[in-house]
Every structure is written in C-alpha cells, then in structure tokens.
Amino acid sequence: MKVLMVCLGNICRSPMAEGILRKKATDRKLSLHIDSAGTGDWHSGENPDPRAIRTAKSYGVNISQLVARQFNVSDFDHFDTIFAMDQSNLKNILSLARNESDKKKVELLLDLLPHKKNKNVPDPWFGGEDGFTDVFNLLDEACEHLINKIS
C-alpha cells in the first residue's frame, strides 16, 4: 500500500506524519510505501522545520533527512491513499483531481479518528515548541489507527 501525507509547506505536519507512520510500519514489519508533500512550493528542497525535527527526535522518530516537495497531479497515480492535514489542504488537493477515482483517494487524516471527524491538524508553524508536541501526539494517534486498520 502506498500512502501520501499532505500539508501546506511539507516542513512541519506531513513530514512528522510520514516519519511516525514509517516507524510504526517498520516496528510491525509491514511493507508500506510512505511519502509526504506540500500543496505549496515555498519550502521545496528544504529539510523539515528544526522544531519538527527536534520534537520527532524526542519521540524516537528521525525525520532530519526528509526533503520537502510540492504535491503534483501524478501523485494521484502513485498513491493509493492521500491524507490531507486540514480542510484547506483537502480543498487544494481535490481541485487538482482529474476524475472520481482521484477524488476517492483523498481523505482528511483526522477522519481516521471517530471523535475527530472533520477536524484539522493545526498548523504549528506560527506557534512555539509546545504546538509541535501537541501536533505530534495527534498525528501519532491517527497513524496508530491507520496502522491497525491496515494490519
């Protein structure tokens, strides 16, 4: 199965989600292809935000070598499921969908959690380090549900 995590900049939320899911898959010896992308291209080519790298590292998840890239329409061909971090990302991804099959691949990440339907993973970019910890824990909860669903 191939999973793509998408946020706005691909330097905070989606690289953390990618790292968390990859670690869970590795720990359970599950073969998953995991990647992440941003709907915007301002940070393409950059490593994740240092606050995201530090937070993930404190939970044993290494995301320091990930490199940001922009979401593009060929991602609909390469991935089975595309998870959007918030409603705005969802809208932007759906605006690029070419057909119903593309649209069906896109989901809001927190829709995996029955008590968080239609909720957004908050953008931690403008806040402090605490926001990154909260986001990490939210992503970890969603990825735990996902890995249990897959396995």
125 is an interface residue for ligand 4NP by CB under 6 A: yes
Judged by CB under 6 A, the residue of 42, 127, 130, 137 near ligand 4NP is 42
Q: Does 13 bind ligand 4NP (CB under 6 A)?
A: yes
Instruction: Decide: is 19 part of the binding site for ligand 4NP (CB under 6 A).
Output: no
**Contacts to ligand 4NP from residues 64-123, by CB under 6 A:** 123
Q: Is 34 helix (H, G, I), strand (E, B) or coil?
A: strand
Distance CA 23, CA 117 (A): 25
**How many Cβ atoms are within 10 Å of 72's Cβ, its own excluded?**
11
CA distances from 13 to 4, 68, 120, 145 (A): 12, 11, 11, 17
- 72 vs 148, beta carbon nearer ligand 4NP: 72
12 is annotated as an active-site residue: no
Among the options 7, 22, 49, 75, which is catalytic?
7
